[in-house]
Amino acid sequence: MKAAPGRIRIIGGYLRNSRLNVPDLPGLRPTAERVRETLFNWLAPTIAGVRALDLCAGTGALGIEALSRGADSVQFVESDASVADALRGNLIRLKASGGEVARLDAMRFLQRAAQPFELVFLDPPFAAQLWTPLAQKLEEGGWLANATQIYVESPREQVPMLPVNWLLHREGHAGEVRFALYRRT
């Protein structure tokens, strides 16, 4: 389900059919088009005007898709300098306003003063096993609004340990990937 390195497509909203330049780096795993399509169909009734956090942003495909479909703003967090530069370049080239890129490790970013978000994309590199520690930091650090929706992408056979007040709303599988949308209560 890995998109070919080089370019991936935004599938909906005002940036529909725009292409994102993607660096060819080991471990960079853009979320597949059909997974993004399913996710954003789930989010369609609630995405307009939200503040979103794309933690471990990578290509930024999830956050840019959110901006394209009406999110008010997206905070992208990416630790790799070349990937963060490519993401900034895509935002500028597409004239996608409302996106800000922080070149920081996700855990270090979450040590900053918190700002609550209504939508969070939690899709860390699979090998890093960061779902549980990042989820705990998000929950305990004041990063989540009362009814935040949290998208979590993980290996198909691995359901991360998440805070008990994150209730599974919907989930699916594509190839070796499990994708799920949780609602914070």
Domains and CATH numbers, the chain: 6-184 (3.40.50.150)
pTM above 0.85, yes or no: yes
d(CA 102, CA 19): 22
Structure-block tokens of residue 50? 């939200």
Q: What is the pLDDT of residue 46?
A: 96
First to last CA, the chain: 32
* Residue 4, pLDDT score: 40
Could you report the per-residue pLDDT of 42-60, keeping only the tens digit for each?
999 999 999 999 999 999 9
Q: What is the layout of strands, in order, in the sheet containing 166-174?
A: 99-102, 73-77, 51-55, 117-122, 144-155, 177-184, 166-174
pLDDT in the model for residue 25: 78
Of the pLDDT bands very low, low, confident and very high (cuts 50, 70, 90), residue 1 is: very low
- For residue 3, the model assigns a pLDDT of 42
**Is the separation of the CB atoms in 138 and 114 below 8 Å?**
no
Over residues 84-99, mean pLDDT: 95
Tell me the two tokens of residue 91: 């935002």
